[in-house]
Amino acid sequence: MSATRRWQAQLEAWRIPESILATAEDSPWVLPRHLFTRRADMLAGHPEGASFPAAWQALEKPGSVLDVGAGAGAASLPLAARCTTITAVDHDATLLAGFRARARELRVTARTVEGTWPEAAAEAGPADVVVCHHVLYNVPDPAPFVRALTVAARRLVVVELAARHPLTALADLWRHFHGLDRPDGPAAEDALAVLGELGITPAVRRWRRERSASAGHPDFAALVEVTRRRLCLPRERAGEVAEALRSRPVPDTDIVTLTWVP
C-alpha cells in the first residue's frame, strides 16, 4: 500500500459508527470558532514553537505570506512585522472577517479568499512563504493539496501538525462512554511518508506547546461542551463528561513542524 493510500485509509477509519452518529444532538466535526480566534490572539502577541522562527527567517527580506486553512490567522499574523501582504484562505467567512480585523490592527495589508485548498489556489496566487497549520489531518487526498502548497511558494513552505492525530487524545473517553476503540493514526510519520512519495524531503522540527490544547477554550465549561460533541453524547450527559475530564490529566500535544524549499 502506498503512503498516500495508507493515509487515506487511516482517515477513513475515523468514521463514527452510524448507530452512534444517529443519536448525536450536535455535529461532532464542527469546532467552535473561539478555538481559532483565541489561538490567533494568543500567538499574535506571543508566538511559540518552531514554525514561527522558520517562517520569520524566510522573511528576513520582507515578503508576502499565504496562509492556507487560516482560520483567524494564528499561523500568519505573528509574522505581520515582516509581511508585505498576507493572503488568508479558509472556508469560514466569519473567521476570515476576524482575520481581516486583526490584520488591520497590526497594520498589515491583507486579503482573504473564501474556499478550500487546493481549489482556491488559483485565486489565492503565489506568495514568498506559504504556511499551513493544523490542517493536514483534515485532508483526505494529500497529494494535490501538498503539490499546490509547493507550487504556490517562492521561498518556503511551513506545515505544522500534531505529532499524532488530535482525536487520539479522546481514545480513553470513547472507551469509557461507548466501549469503542478508536484509530491511532495517522501520525506525523505518515505525513512524512506521503511527502517522500512526492519527492519532498522536509526539515523536521519536533516541539511541545507552552500552553496545553485546553488553553484555546475560554473556560472549563467550553472544554466540556466541545468534548461532549466530539463524543456524540447528548447534552444531558455534560456532567458526566465534566467528571471524566476532571479525573484525567490534560493530554500534552507534541507538535511537528515540516519545512521545505519549493
Cα atoms in the 13 Å half-sphere on the side-chain side of 210 = 8
Does pLDDT of 75 surpass 60?
Answer: yes
Q: Please report the pLDDT score of residue 213 as a whole number.
A: 57
Q: How confident is the model at residue 169 (pLDDT cuts 50, 70, 90)?
A: very high
pLDDT at 217: 74
Q: What is the pLDDT of residue 212?
A: 53
Best CA proximity match to 8, nearest among 172, 191, 241: 191
Query: What pTM, to 2 d.p., does this model score?
Result: 0.94
How many C-beta neighbours within 10 Å does residue 219 have? 9
pLDDT at 250 over 90: no
Please compute the mean of the pLDDT values over residues 166-185 and round it to a whole number.
Answer: 95
User: What is the overall mean pLDDT for the chain?
Assistant: 94
151, containing H or E segment: helix 142-152
Q: Of 65-74, 200-209, 240-249, where does mean pLDDT reach its minimum?
A: 240-249
Q: Quick check: 200 pLDDT over 80?
A: yes
Look at residue 194 in the predicted model and tell me its pLDDT.
98
Predicted pLDDT of residue 211: 63
Phi, psi (deg, nearest 5) at residue 93: -65, -35
Q: Quick one: DSSP state of residue 248?
A: S
In this predicted structure, which of 13-17, 61-65, 250-254, 256-260 has the lowest mean pLDDT? 250-254
d(CA 261, CA 201): 9
CATH code for residues 3-260:
3.40.50.150
Confidence of residue 219 (pLDDT cuts 50, 70, 90): confident
pLDDT tens per residue across span 117-167: 999 999 999 999 999 999 999 999 999 999 999 999 999 999 999 999 999
Give residue limits of the domains in the chain: 3-260
> Long-range pairs for 18-27 at CB < 8 Å and ≥24 separation?
20/178, 20/180, 20/232, 21/232, 23/232, 23/234, 24/229, 24/232, 24/233, 25/234, 25/235, 26/228, 26/229, 26/235, 27/229
Those residues whose C-beta lies under 8 Å from the C-beta of residue 93, and which sit 6 or more positions away, are 114
Contacts of 96 (CB under 8 A, 6+ apart): 70, 88, 90, 112, 114
Question: In 3D, which of 183, 51, 186 has the Cα closest to residue 130?
Answer: 51
pLDDT at position 18, please? 94
State residue 215's pLDDT score: 60
Q: What percent of the chain has pLDDT over 70?
A: 97
User: What pLDDT sits at residue 45?
Assistant: 83
| Collapsed DSSP state (helix, strand, coil) of residue 234 | coil
Q: How confident is the model at residue 44 (pLDDT cuts 50, 70, 90)?
A: confident
Specify the higher pLDDT residue, 38 or 131: 131
